[in-house]
Amino acid sequence: MKPRNKPIRALGLILFFVGALLGMALFGSSVWADLESTFYFGFGIKGNKTVNLSCPPIMTAADSKSFTAYIQNTTDRLLEPSIQTDISNILAVRSDRTKITVAAYQTVPVSWQLTTDDVVFGHLILVHIYQFQVFLLPSADANCGIVFLNLTGVTGMQVFILALLGTLLGIAGGLTLWVSNSRPLEGHVRQQMLGMVFLSVIVAVGMLLSWIGWWGPGVLVFALASFMVIILLGRYVLAPGQP
């Protein structure tokens, strides 16, 4: 059975793949940055726990560049832990050690500034933080990678929001247009729809993994998403009469 509106169906297909590829680029770049950070500081000192480290996923030349660590005191006494930061740099790793004061059962945010000299590999700023053990508070560390874009008219957060909106609107809008003009959803049409839905779920999982910093599963999810894109595009190219 022919689609009710073939041009709209084709438009839906294009929008869907644009959204899916944009989402893959969004979470894939974040996974790549965190992966590079892990290997960049692979032989650095490691802690027994993980520091709550907040790094923006994307930065541009228009940003006031910084990252923040949240140092938590889980004991019943005032502590002064020492924090060492290692930041990538075009010349050598930039290291700094800071002592902070944290009251009992409190959490203190500590921020460090970044500069364009910290950009390595063209588009990455890489960070490692280590919290030294003090009293009963164990040592802790964390890594993060930040994607740097040499843009002056827009901030990293604006780029991220636009890319996220493009992903959501492209996938949801494209899938809706395609499905509404592909009825009845039977046989190979149903299989294609299920494949598109599965790819949408994969992209959503990848973005979640990149947000929480799990680059290992993120690499596998990106590979799976790439495989699904190839499979789906291959079916449309090989299937006669399909847009």
Please write the tens of the pLDDT for every residue from 193-223: 899 999 999 999 999 999 888 899 999 999 9
Same domain, residue pair 218 and 141:
no
And the tokens for 68?
């923040």
43 within domain boundaries: yes
Same domain, residue pair 55 and 121:
yes
Same domain, residue pair 100 and 173:
no
Helices 6-40 and 156-180, interaxial angle, to 10°? 140
Is 186 a residue whose pLDDT tops 60? yes
Of 132, 149, 166, the one marking the end of a domain is: 149
243 within domain boundaries: no
Q: What is the pLDDT of residue 237?
A: 60
Question: Which structural domain, as residue segments, surrounds residue 210?
Answer: 6-33+156-238
The secondary structure element, H or E, covering residue 54 is: strand 52-54
Q: What is the pLDDT of residue 33?
A: 95
Same domain, residue pair 143 and 170:
no
State what percent of residues in the chain have pLDDT above 90. Answer: 70
Is 1 a residue whose pLDDT tops 70? no
The residue among 229 and 238 whose pLDDT is bigger is 229
Which residue from 206, 187, 210 is spatially nearest to 198, judged by alpha carbons? 206
Same domain, residue pair 94 and 130:
yes
The secondary structure element, H or E, covering residue 128 is: strand 124-131
How many domains does the chain fold into?
2
Is 187 a residue whose pLDDT tops 80? no
Q: What is the pLDDT of residue 6?
A: 81
Query: pLDDT category, 239, cuts 50, 70, 90?
Result: low
Same domain, residue pair 142 and 171:
no
Same domain, residue pair 141 and 173:
no
Same domain, residue pair 165 and 234:
yes
pTM across the whole model: 0.86
Which residue from 130, 136, 132, 148 is spatially nearest to 36, judged by alpha carbons? 148
Same domain, residue pair 142 and 97:
yes
Could you give the count of Cα atoms lying within 13 Å of 180 in the half-sphere of its Cβ?
A: 10
Of 103, 119, 149, the one marking the end of a domain is: 149
Q: Are the C-beta atoms of 147 and 33 separated by less than 8 Å? A: yes
Of 98, 129, 149, the one marking the end of a domain is: 149
Is 162 a residue whose pLDDT tops 70? yes
Q: Are the C-beta atoms of 212 and 34 separated by less than 8 Å? A: no
